[in-house]
């Protein structure tokens, strides 16, 4: 690694992405391609989410990538919000199309025109569907792998309900699921709450969000869950025949999480040696590196390596034996540290003779010898410890980066000197929120679900303080 996390954070980040073999820049500006190692991390995150989506009654389905312009226009506010970012298809071969086709920036409109249009009676509700796909939004600002790209992998969940209450419950249920996966699997602590009027999803009644602080002091939105009320079901005429024999407009939600959470994992857990992956999302949890110095020791060492690999794999641990002969053990250590593999098992003649395995932790860079008999148990315990320890150190960082400000001067000083969340009170008006953004570059990231104490008058206009929010400069 050429760059240091504490010195050139931005360059360090891109170096980790490329050198750890996660992703690279694709020919079209703002797009990236994923290498297998990067994609496998995404697949693990996806499987953790999928399991919970299914347990809560959701099923996966498919929608096409092209959306007719007329459909996208049906919900005016939604259309206006996305227009600057939409890629348009204007030709089919050499012939101009009669109507422009949008390349999916998000699928609400298509979902209501298809799934929504098929609903007849209350007996078919709720509709609980999820789509794993990619979405395209032209990025004019500078792009950053995983964090800001013109095409990104994500999942978008869409649901239709008979009542407002059911839709509201769904919004919170999905935010809870996101929180569990992000905190327990990605080991990243978040602050949960509502988005402000200015920051909410275009077309939503309200948006709930999970936000995390990155090591450079910027805040990253990790996942959002939206209550769409009847804002889409009315223009798309999603109605159902109720048990009362009358027609009713349905209620709906949508929720999404994208691969930017991989960017958060890199930023939050990485160090000067490269990536540090939480075991729950590590494609390889244990890498075995054989250490043999004499040719005659080779066979014995490799035999033990294979035996260890088999035992760990049988125990359901993701293990890889690096038996390449063209690289030295030292070279391999560096490579797997760069790739963030949580545990390295070193096996040489000493380990063979002593009936043990040397385990090196990627997070703490410590080593411990464990006996062959206790191998599986020790690996499981260490993986748990690594998972917990990564979360705890990120949690300490988060708590150290929530700072109260009672005046605009204090607000700006915290942002400049420390970053992270600035907890401050304002009058709740869009005007003050916009003015604060203009002046400081910070936006309302989260308004906590349980209102927090009023700290002062509005930090901007000095009027009555009504809302205490977490502000921050966002990615
Ligand atoms: Zn104000």
Q: pLDDT (tens digit, 9 = 90+) per residue, 406-425?
A: 999 999 999 999 999 999 99
pLDDT-based confidence at 75, cuts 50/70/90?
Answer: confident
Tell me how far the alpha carbon of residue 432 lies from the centroid of ligand 1, in angstroms.
Answer: 5
Cα gap 271→3, rounded to integer Å: 10
Tell me how far the alpha carbon of residue 452 lies from the centroid of ligand 1, in angstroms.
Answer: 17
Of 8, 14, 7, the residue nearest 263 (C-alpha):
14
Tell me how far the alpha carbon of residue 469 lies from the centroid of ligand 1, in angstroms.
Answer: 13
Tell me how far the alpha carbon of residue 218 lies from the centroid of ligand 1, in angstroms.
Answer: 24
Task: Note the pTM of the prediction, 2 decimals.
Answer: 0.96
Tell me how far the alpha carbon of residue 412 lies from the centroid of ligand 1, in angstroms.
Answer: 16
pLDDT in tens, 147-175: 999 999 999 999 999 999 999 999 999 99
Comparing 261 with 141, the larger pLDDT belongs to: 261
Cα gap 250→232, rounded to integer Å: 9
Q: Report the pLDDT value the prediction gives residue 79, as an integer from 0 to 100.
A: 86
Tell me how far the alpha carbon of residue 410 lies from the centroid of ligand 1, in angstroms.
Answer: 16
Q: Report the pLDDT value the prediction gives residue 25, as an integer from 0 to 100.
A: 95
Q: Report the pLDDT value the prediction gives residue 185, as an integer from 0 to 100.
A: 98
Q: Which two tokens stand for residue 41?
A: 């991390």
Tell me how far the alpha carbon of residue 467 lies from the centroid of ligand 1, in angstroms.
Answer: 10
Q: Which residues contact 89 (CB under 8 A, 6 or more apart)?
A: 66, 97, 100, 101, 102, 103
Average confidence score pLDDT of the chain: 96
Cα gap 428→437, rounded to integer Å: 14
pLDDT-based confidence at 45, cuts 50/70/90?
Answer: very high
Tell me how far the alpha carbon of residue 330 lies from the centroid of ligand 1, in angstroms.
Answer: 59
Q: Report the pLDDT value the prediction gives residue 81, as an integer from 0 to 100.
A: 86
Residue 365 has pLDDT above 90, yes or no: yes
Mean pLDDT of 280-297: 94
Task: Quote the crossing angle between the two packed helices 36-55 and 260-269, to the nearest 10°.
Answer: 110
pLDDT in tens, 421-451: 999 999 999 999 999 999 999 999 999 999 9
pLDDT in tens, 189-201: 999 999 999 999 9
Residues 153, 134 contacting (CB under 8 angstroms): yes
Q: Report the pLDDT value the prediction gives residue 292, as an integer from 0 to 100.
A: 83
Residue 130 has pLDDT above 80, yes or no: yes
Residue 82 has pLDDT above 90, yes or no: no
Question: Which residues, in sequence order, are bridge partners of residue 358?
Answer: 346, 369
Residue 293 has pLDDT above 90, yes or no: no
Tell me how far the alpha carbon of residue 196 lies from the centroid of ligand 1, in angstroms.
Answer: 14
Tell me how far the alpha carbon of residue 79 lies from the centroid of ligand 1, in angstroms.
Answer: 29
Residue 295 has pLDDT above 90, yes or no: no
Q: Report the pLDDT value the prediction gives residue 356, as an integer from 0 to 100.
A: 98
Tell me how far the alpha carbon of residue 174 lies from the centroid of ligand 1, in angstroms.
Answer: 32
Phi-psi region of 153 (alpha: psi -120 to 50; beta: other; left: phi over 0): beta
Question: Which residues, in sequence order, are bridge partners of residue 89?
Answer: 101
Residue 140 has pLDDT above 80, yes or no: no
Q: Report the pLDDT value the prediction gives residue 447, as an integer from 0 to 100.
A: 98
Q: Spell 3-38 as b/e; 16+ CB within 10 A means b.
A: bebeeebeebbbbbbebbbbbebeeeebbbebeebb
């Amino acid at each position: 690694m050429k760059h240091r996390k504490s010195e050139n954070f931005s360059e360090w980040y891109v170096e980790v992405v490329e050198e750890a073999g996660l992703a690279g820049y694709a020919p079209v500006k703002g797009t990236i391609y994923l290498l297998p190692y990067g994609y496998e991390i995404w697949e693990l995150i996806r499987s953790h989410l999928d399991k919970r989506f299914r347990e809560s009654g959701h099923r996966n389905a498919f929608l096409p990538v092209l959306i007719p312009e007329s459909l996208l226009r049906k919900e005016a506010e939604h259309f206006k919000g996305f227009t600057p970012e939409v890629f348009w298809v204007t030709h089919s071969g050499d012939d101009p199309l009669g109507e422009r086709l949008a390349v999916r920036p998000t699928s609400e409109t298509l979902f209501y025109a298809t799934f929504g249009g098929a609903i007849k009676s209350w007996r078919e509700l709720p509709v609980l569907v999820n789509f794993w796909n990619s979405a395209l939004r032209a990025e004019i600002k500078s792009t950053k792998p995983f964090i800001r790209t013109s095409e990104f992998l994500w999942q978008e969940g869409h649901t239709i309900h008979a009542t407002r209450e059911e839709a509201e419950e769904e919004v919170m249920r999905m935010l809870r699921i996101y929180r569990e996966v992000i905190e327990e699997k990605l080991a990243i602590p978040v602050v949960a709450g509502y988005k402000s009027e200015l920051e909410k999803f275009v077309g939503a009644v309200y948006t709930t969000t999970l936000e995390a602080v990155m090591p450079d002091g910027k805040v990253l939105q990790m996942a959002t869950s939206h209550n769409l009320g009847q804002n889409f079901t009315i223009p798309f005429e999603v109605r159902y025949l109720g048990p009362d024999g009358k027609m009713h407009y349905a209620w709906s939600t949508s929720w999404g999480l994208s691969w930017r959470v991989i960017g958060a994992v890199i930023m939050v857990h990485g160090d000067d040696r490269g990536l540090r992956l939480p075991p729950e999302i590590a494609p390889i949890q244990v890498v075995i590196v054989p250490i043999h110095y004499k040719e005659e020791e080779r066979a014995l060492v490799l035999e033990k390596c294979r035996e260890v690999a088999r035992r760990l794999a049988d125990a359901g641990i993701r293990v890889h034996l690096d038996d390449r002969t063209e690289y030295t053990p030292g070279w391999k250590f560096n490579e797997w540290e760069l790739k963030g593999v949580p545990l390295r098992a070193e096996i040489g003649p000493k380990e063979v003779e002593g009936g043990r395995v040397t385990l090196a932790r990627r997070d703490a860079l410590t080593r411990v010898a464990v006996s062959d008999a206790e191998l599986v148990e020790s690996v499981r315990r260490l993986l748990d410890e690594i998972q917990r320890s990564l979360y705890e150190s990120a949690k300490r960082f988060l708590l150290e980066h929530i700072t109260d400000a009672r005046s605009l001067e204090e607000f700006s000083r915290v942002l400049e000197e420390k970053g992270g969340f600035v907890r401050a009170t304002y009058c709740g008006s869009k005007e003050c929120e916009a003015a604060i953004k203009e002046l400081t570059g910070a936006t309302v990231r989260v308004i906590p679900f349980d209102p927090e104490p009023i700290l002062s008058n509005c930090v901007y206009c000095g009027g009555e303080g009504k809302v205490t929010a977490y502000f921050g400069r966002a990615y």
